[in-house]
Amino acid sequence: MTTPFLNGDNNPYNSLVWPGLTLTRQERHLLLQSPSPIDSLSSSIHGGGMSKIDRIANIYVDRFYECSHPEKDVEKLFQEWGYPLESTAGLLTAVRLAYTSVSEEDGEDASVFCCTTAGVSNGARAGSERTTFPVYQPGTINIMLMIDARMTQAAMVNAVITAVEAKTAALADLGIRDAENGLVATGTTTDAIVLGVSQSATYPIQHRYCGTATDLGAAIGRVVYGTVIESLGAAGVSKL
């Protein structure tokens, strides 16, 4: 694992396991670029759902951001930066980009890259009674999970489930609590994830499952858990 931008180093981070996959820190956003189009499943504010993308932008906004039209705000920024709207996923984050954490694993049938920006000021427990809001808020834990492999759509959904379980485990081990009721938090109120899959024909098998009992699922769990812990650690949140 690494925090490539923590000490003010803005040099591009080149993936060690996925040739051509690069992460750069721009003035107010992270840009993750793939060397070729990838299948994506995401909850991103722009480019969400199932889509074909080649880049992801995780955009920083401060806590005073007026978020009545986040989709339009992201589209306007993409137009300013020259990013194609149809192939770029966009996230908003209220976490300082310096706290970015990256983890990678190389495998025989898949390689995994994970980039996380995490904050827990609005920790929340799913299933408990708490205040809810109808409006969008910028993300507190944003996960960009890239898998160089062949996967079915069902396996992609399974991968998201495993990633969320790993995030929740990290928060539990850190002792993060729901800000309103004091229960152990399962996430925050504004988490988001982008999953990208290369569907590279160079791999011999197609993954149909991605739970924690599979090699790929175990790798996903490790990189997501590790980056959540490390990103929060960079922000001063210590493990119990």
20-24: Cβ within 8 A, 24+ apart? 21/113, 21/146, 21/148, 23/100, 23/102, 23/115
Please work out, in degrees rounded to the nearest 5, the angle formed at the alpha carbon of residue 145 by the alpha carbons of 139 and 150.
145
Instruction: Please tell me the predicted confidence (pLDDT) of residue 124.
Output: 84
Instruction: Please tell me the predicted confidence (pLDDT) of residue 65.
Output: 72
Q: Dump pLDDT digits (tens) for 146-200.
A: 999 999 999 999 999 999 999 999 999 999 999 888 999 999 988 999 999 999 9
Please work out, in degrees rounded to the nearest 5, the angle formed at the alpha carbon of residue 62 by the alpha carbons of 226 and 163.
25
Q: Coil, strand or helix: which one is 69?
A: coil
What's the pTM?
Answer: 0.94
Instruction: Please tell me the predicted confidence (pLDDT) of residue 134.
Output: 64
Instruction: Please tell me the predicted confidence (pLDDT) of residue 47.
Output: 95
d(CA 231, CA 26): 18
Task: Check whether 138 has a pLDDT greater than 80.
Answer: no
Q: Which DSSP string corresponds to 192-222?
A: EEEEEE---TTSS-EE---STTSHHHHHHHH
Instruction: Please tell me the predicted confidence (pLDDT) of residue 78.
Output: 97
Instruction: Please tell me the predicted confidence (pLDDT) of residue 81.
Output: 97
Domain 13-234 falls in which CATH fold? L-amino peptidase D-ALA esterase/amidase (3.60.70)
Instruction: Please tell me the predicted confidence (pLDDT) of residue 136.
Output: 56
φ, ψ (nearest 5 deg) of residue 7: -100, 25
Please identify which residue in the block is written with the tokens 């399962």: 186
Where do the DSSP E strands lie in the chain? 13-14, 22-25, 29-42, 49-60, 88-93, 101-106, 111-118, 123-124, 141-148, 150-151, 187-188, 192-197, 206-207
Q: Dump pLDDT digits (tens) for 187-240.
A: 998 899 999 999 999 998 999 999 999 999 999 999 999 999 999 999 888 765
Cβ atoms of 43 and 32 within 8 Å: the answer is no
Map out the domains of the chain as residue ranges: 13-234
Instruction: Please tell me the predicted confidence (pLDDT) of residue 135.
Output: 59
* Average pLDDT of the residues in 72-89: 96
Task: Check whether 24 has a pLDDT greater than 90.
Answer: yes
d(CA 21, CA 44): 19
Instruction: Please tell me the predicted confidence (pLDDT) of residue 238.
Output: 73
> Cα-atom radius of gyration of the chain, to the nearest Å?
17
Q: Dump pLDDT digits (tens) for 107-132.
A: 999 999 999 999 998 888 898 877 77
